[in-house]
Amino acid sequence: KNQVEQSPQSLIILEGKNCTLQCNYTVSPFSNLRWYKQDTGRGPVSLTIMTFSENTKSNGRYTATLDADTKQSSLHITASQLSDSASYICVVSLNTGGFKTIFGAGTRLFVKA
């Protein structure tokens, strides 16, 4: 069964600290993996996208990694800011003829002053 699991479900950190969010997937055939940020009351916004051959992708203070062999991805946030408080969603797309994308349930991050 194709699944995307994220951990932890929620996380509280202090402003200025780093954190890492995890995404494990059992999806085949794999096409790409995206991380989205979703602020409360708004739609998700894309942070990074990685294909099978890419190991790392950065977007400012956000760095995503992908290990296609172990089917794991992580999102590392450096020097967190209050505005990083949001849900972070891992999304995996399958390489099929049609459209097939599986969304994780997300990790809720709270950054405290």
Partner 1 sequence: DAGITQSPRHKVTETGTPVTLRCHQTENHRYMYWYRQDPGHGLRLIHYSYGVKDTDKGEVSDGYSVSRSKTEDFLLTLESATSSQTSVYFCAISTTIQETQYFGPGTRLLVL
**Interface with partner 1 (CB under 8 A):** 4, 31-32, 34, 41-46, 49, 89, 93, 98-99, 101-106
Nearer to partner 1, 57 or 80 (CB): 57
Rg, C-alpha atoms of the chain: 14
Whether 5 and 24 have beta carbons less than 8 Å apart is answered as: yes
Whether 16 and 79 have beta carbons less than 8 Å apart is answered as: yes
* C-alpha pair distances (Å), 71 with each of 25, 41, 45, 107: 6, 30, 23, 18
d(CA 7, CA 20): 10
Nearer to partner 1, 69 or 99 (CB): 99
Nearer to partner 1, 43 or 60 (CB): 43
- Cβ 17 to partner 1, closest distance in Å? 27
- Cβ 105 to partner 1, closest distance in Å? 5
d(CA 90, CA 51): 14
Nearer to partner 1, 97 or 113 (CB): 97
- Cβ 61 to partner 1, closest distance in Å? 19
- Cβ 90 to partner 1, closest distance in Å? 9
